[in-house]
């Protein structure tokens, strides 16, 4: 039992990766919609490339969206709306008319006129409320039939027979003229306007229910295809009715009710495909990015981003498949390039697109567009920390989407008039969403403890608190660090390494010298040397301690691990040769390990560059009368000695790249000393 526990403990990194791999596979399969997958890609407007296709079962031909839309439009035009007649309002208005009539028309009016007026008011009110009074908002055609609902009964009337409130004055004037009561026009108009109220309203709920009922009666199919009937022959162009039948077969196939056995086999199929895709990604990381493979946090970060893109796409498809291109899939390669490199970013992007190809419609078109956009992202984005570069990259990605979609549509439809402008809007929204990558990278830095170029740019500011403290306590070291940073940046640019990382690492590599600044010659302003009173061994210990002190300071100030790596490795496992030689003069049996830096040796191109630049810049101060040839020999001697000691064995830097670094250092030192070419005499 104890040995098994020890085995688990020793291999916990491997078990974690296996767990992460399997968990991601399970989650992706769980997110995928389950059902049959039509095994043919329908090539709209192009020849059928497969063998003759026969109907595998009986199925109905679905109507096209245009046909269904036309039927709904016809129903809308023929549909009779419902209006509600309120009888209570009529009774209330009658009472109000009697009351207002007595107030407006006094008893001094002759009896015959008063009777005539009373009859007129009653008859006019009855005519107004025969079909009701409507406060019209959205006018219909005068000849439009409507249902007028009184209680539980509804009868058809033409819309013009319902009096509108805005036509009430005209109606009253007409009635007054016919009754020859012009002498009482003002009083009668005042009477009706004070009392008459609308009693007809549009019954939206009843109208909508009736409309939905008619929609439900629409037949979504027209005709049937019997089993064994040939659907399309090889080489036949897929268009018109053939295309509609194929789409109907695909819809029927994918909507079939699956038995538990079928369902289980679909799960097995999805699991195998997702397993293989993720396995390729894991093997790629292990073979070509082994340093990332060894870091569980980085592997988790990669799989988390892949899973998030799948999750976001699945949610959008479930909401509305037409919005699938709004998903900013190019955030994935942008993010991975920002933290790692372009090759890993593109490979992960391709794997993600292949996974999404299972669930999106028009999978070939989707995968083509997304892979091309991913390649453009990787090729165009540089220095992501510069906002202008991000906007330019997003603009190029959006343009590629639009051009590719336009080309596909022209091929499939044979006309530019079938291009849907709404899809262009989807691409623009997706481009805008891609701009979210900058705050997303910042969040990832805080969550996963990673470092992007944007953070490195902040750290490269020489006005930062830590670098200002270095310039105050150890001004010579600060000046040395600036020179090394310039050399390292130029060398990194020459060989295609991360120049920003090399510069930041160089700026902070000697911060440990702040603890005992006067023990380092660049900070000694007088002729007094602090090492004169110490033994060579004690002096070497103080010199070596600046690495350990630098690591402690960096951790207290929360510097990223990628920057701390430069502090650890900038001397590798070399010896403090000056004091070792002095000790050997005193004691011939001196142990070189007592004068050796703890390491580790550089394990990346950037840390290897820093070791070369640091040694060359520091030693160049000892050149009394520099010449071009002397500097060339001097650089060769220092770097060749480091190579002989095997300091670059763990870094992925090649001999050719080392030669290029030497070339840059020689050129830069000659510029510093303002040397010219030595001409022969």
The answer to whether position 334 is within a domain reads: yes
Answer for the pair 608, 648: CB distance below 8 angstroms, yes or no.
yes
- Asked whether residue 255 carries a pLDDT value surpassing 50, the answer given is yes
The answer to whether position 53 is within a domain reads: no
- Of residues 186 and 282, more confidence is placed in 282
β pairing state of 230-232 and 53-54? antiparallel
Does 414 lie in the same domain as 267? yes
Label residue 644 by pLDDT band (50, 70, 90): very high
- Asked whether residue 256 carries a pLDDT value surpassing 70, the answer given is no
For residue 575, what are the β-bridge partners? 596
Query: How long, in residues, is the chain?
Result: 681
> Residues of the chain with pLDDT > 70: what percent?
90
Q: Would you state the pLDDT for residue 258?
A: 54
Residue closest to 179 by CA, chosen among 120, 108, 139: 120
Does 290 lie in the same domain as 200? no
- Asked whether residue 663 carries a pLDDT value surpassing 90, the answer given is yes
Label residue 550 by pLDDT band (50, 70, 90): very high
Does 567 lie in the same domain as 514? yes
User: Among 327-336, 387-396, 467-476, whose mean pLDDT is lowest?
Assistant: 387-396
d(CA 68, CA 202): 27
Per-residue model confidence as pLDDT tens digits over 441-458: 888 888 887 887 778 888
Per-residue model confidence as pLDDT tens digits over 187-211: 888 888 888 888 888 888 888 888 8
Per-residue model confidence as pLDDT tens digits over 29-76: 988 876 556 666 777 767 777 777 777 777 777 777 777 888 888 888
Burial of 620 (0-12, 13-18, 19+ CB in 10 A): buried
Q: Would you state the pLDDT for residue 386?
A: 65
CATH of the domain at 478: 1.10.3210
For residue 154, what are the β-bridge partners? 149
Q: How many Cα atoms occupy the beta-carbon half-sphere of 182 within 13 Å? A: 3
For residue 53, what are the β-bridge partners? 232
d(CA 360, CA 349): 16
- Asked whether residue 431 carries a pLDDT value surpassing 90, the answer given is no
Q: 147, 181, 214: which is the final residue of a domain? A: 214
Does 332 lie in the same domain as 427? yes
Residue closest to 94 by CA, chosen among 128, 49, 52: 128
Domain boundaries, position 536: 453-672
User: Among 328-342, 497-511, 586-600, 657-671, whose mean pLDDT is lowest?
Assistant: 586-600
Per-residue model confidence as pLDDT tens digits over 216-238: 888 777 778 777 788 788 777 77
- Asked whether residue 571 carries a pLDDT value surpassing 60, the answer given is yes
The answer to whether position 233 is within a domain reads: no
The answer to whether position 67 is within a domain reads: no
Does 108 lie in the same domain as 17? no
Answer for the pair 672, 482: CB distance below 8 angstroms, yes or no.
no
The answer to whether position 58 is within a domain reads: no
The answer to whether position 64 is within a domain reads: no
Average pLDDT over residues 149-166: 84
- Asked whether residue 511 carries a pLDDT value surpassing 90, the answer given is yes
Answer for the pair 434, 394: CB distance below 8 angstroms, yes or no.
yes
Q: Would you state the pLDDT for residue 240?
A: 75
What Cα–Cα distance (Å) separates residue 469 from each residue in 513, 546, 550, 585?
A: 11, 16, 13, 38
d(CA 15, CA 93): 85
Per-residue model confidence as pLDDT tens digits over 279-326: 999 999 999 888 889 889 999 999 999 999 999 999 988 888 888 888
Sheet strands (E) in 109-170 = 133-134, 145-150, 153-158, 163-164
d(CA 189, CA 169): 7
Per-residue model confidence as pLDDT tens digits over 348-395: 999 999 999 888 877 888 899 999 999 988 888 766 666 677 788 888
Q: Which residues contact 6 (CB under 8 A, 6 or more apart)?
A: none
Q: 196, 214, 232: which is the final residue of a domain? A: 214
- Of residues 674 and 110, more confidence is placed in 110
Rounding to the nearest 10 degrees, give the CA dihedral for residues 470, 475, 476, 479: 80
> Residues of the chain with pLDDT > 90: what percent?
24
Number of domains in the chain: 3
Label residue 679 by pLDDT band (50, 70, 90): very low
Does 473 lie in the same domain as 440? no
Average pLDDT over residues 479-508: 92
Does 473 lie in the same domain as 423? no
Does 389 lie in the same domain as 414? yes
The answer to whether position 374 is within a domain reads: yes
d(CA 285, CA 670): 42
- Of residues 516 and 275, more confidence is placed in 275
Does 599 lie in the same domain as 481? yes
Does 652 lie in the same domain as 557? yes
- Asked whether residue 544 carries a pLDDT value surpassing 70, the answer given is yes
Q: 426, 448, 470: which is the final residue of a domain? A: 448
Hey, what long-range contacts does 125-129 have (CB within 8 A, 24 or more apart)?
Answer: 125/93, 125/94, 125/97, 125/192, 125/196, 127/175, 128/163, 128/168, 128/171, 128/196, 129/90, 129/93, 129/199
The answer to whether position 271 is within a domain reads: yes
Q: Would you state the pLDDT for residue 282?
A: 94
Q: Would you state the pLDDT for residue 438?
A: 81
Average pLDDT over residues 83-103: 84
- Of residues 556 and 529, more confidence is placed in 556
- Asked whether residue 156 carries a pLDDT value surpassing 90, the answer given is no
- Asked whether residue 253 carries a pLDDT value surpassing 80, the answer given is no
Does 432 lie in the same domain as 508? no
- Asked whether residue 405 carries a pLDDT value surpassing 90, the answer given is no
Q: How far is CA 328 from the centre of its chain?
A: 4
Say which residue the tokens 């830069």 belong to. 668
What is the DSSP track for 58-71?
-EEEEPPHHHHHHH
Residue closest to 481 by CA, chosen among 567, 552, 375: 567
Q: Would you state the pLDDT for residue 284?
A: 94
Model-wide pTM > 0.75: no
For residue 146, what are the β-bridge partners? 157
Does 333 lie in the same domain as 398? yes
């Amino acid at each position: 039992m104890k040995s098994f526990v020890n085995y688990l403990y020793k291999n916990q990194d491997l078990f974690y990766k296996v767990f992460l791999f399997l968990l991601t596979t399970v989650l992706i399969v769980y997110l995928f919609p389950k059902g049959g997958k039509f095994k043919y890609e329908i090539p709209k407007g192009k020849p059928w490339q497969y063998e003759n296709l026969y109907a595998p079962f009986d199925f109905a031909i679905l109507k096209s969206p245009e046909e269904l839309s036309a039927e709904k439009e016809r129903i809308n035009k023929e549909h009779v709306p419902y209006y509600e007649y309120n009888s209570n309002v009529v009774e209330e208005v009658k009472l109000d008319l009697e009351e207002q009539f007595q107030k407006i028309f006094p008893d001094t009016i002759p009896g015959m006129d008063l009777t005539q007026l009373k009859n007129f008011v009653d008859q006019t009110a009855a005519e107004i409320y025969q079909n009701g009074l409507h406060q019209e908002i959205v006018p219909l055609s005068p000849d439009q039939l409507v249902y007028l609902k009184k209680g539980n009964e509804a009868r058809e009337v033409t819309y013009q027979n319902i009096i509108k409130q805005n036509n009430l004055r005209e109606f009253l004037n007409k009635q007054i003229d016919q009754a020859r009561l012009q002498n009482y026009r003002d009083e009668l108009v005042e009477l009706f306007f004070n009392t008459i109220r609308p009693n007809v309203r549009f019954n939206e709920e009843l109208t909508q229910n009736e409309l939905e009922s008619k929609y439900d009666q629409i037949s979504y199919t027209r005709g049937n295809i019997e089993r064994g009937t040939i659907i399309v022959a090889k080489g036949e162009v897929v268009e018109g009715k053939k295309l509609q039948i194929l789409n109907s077969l695909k819809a029927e196939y994918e909507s079939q009710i699956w038995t538990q056995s079928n369902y289980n086999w679909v799960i097995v199929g999805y699991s195998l495909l997702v397993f293989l895709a993720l396995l390729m990604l894991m093997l790629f990381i292990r073979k070509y990015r082994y340093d990332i493979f060894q870091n569980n946090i980085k592997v988790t970060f990669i799989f988390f981003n892949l899973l998030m893109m799948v999750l976001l796409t699945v949610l959008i498809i479930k909401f509305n498949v037409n919005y699938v291109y709004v998903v900013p899939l190019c955030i994935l390669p942008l993010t991975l390039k920002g933290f790692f490199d372009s090759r890993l970013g593109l490979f992960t992007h391709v794997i993600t697109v292949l996974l999404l190809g299972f669930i999106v419609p028009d999978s070939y078109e989707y995968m083509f567009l997304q892979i091309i956009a991913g390649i453009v992202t990787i090729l165009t984005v540089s220095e992501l920390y510069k906002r202008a570069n991000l906007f330019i990259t997003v603009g190029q990605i959006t343009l590629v989407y639009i051009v590719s979609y336009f080309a596909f549509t022209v091929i499939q439809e044979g006309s530019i008039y079938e291009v849907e402008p709404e899809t262009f809007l989807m691409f623009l929204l997706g481009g805008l969403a891609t701009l979210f990558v900058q705050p997303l990278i910042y969040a990832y830095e805080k969550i996963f403890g990673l470092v992007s170029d944007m953070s490195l740019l902040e750290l490269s500011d020489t006005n930062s608190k830590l670098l200002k403290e270095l310039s105050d306590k150890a001004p010579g070291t600060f000046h040395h660090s600036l020179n090394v940073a310039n050399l390292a940046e130029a060398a990194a640019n020459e060989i295609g390494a991360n120049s920003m990382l090399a510069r930041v690492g160089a700026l902070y590599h000697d911060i440990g010298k702040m603890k005992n600044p006067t023990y380092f010659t660049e900070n000694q302003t007088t002729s007094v040397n602090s090492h004169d009173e110490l033994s060579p061994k004690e002096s070497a210990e103080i010199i070596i301690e600046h690495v350990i002190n630098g690591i402690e300071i960096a951790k207290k100030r929360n510097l990223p691990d990628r920057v701390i790596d430069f502090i650890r490795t900038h001397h590798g496992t070399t010896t403090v040769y000056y004091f070792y030689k002095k000790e050997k003069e005193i004691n011939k049996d001196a142990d070189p390990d007592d004068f050796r830096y703890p390491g580790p040796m550089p394990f990346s191109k950037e840390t290897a560059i820093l070791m070369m630049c640091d040694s060359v810049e520091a030693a160049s101060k000892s050149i009394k009368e520099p010449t071009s040839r002397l500097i060339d020999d001097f650089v060769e001697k220092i770097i060749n000695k480091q190579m002989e000691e095997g300091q670059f064995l763990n870094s992925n830097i090649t001999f050719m790249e080392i030669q290029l670094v030497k070339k840059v250092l020689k050129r830069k030192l000659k510029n510093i000393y303002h040397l010219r070419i030595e001409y022969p005499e």
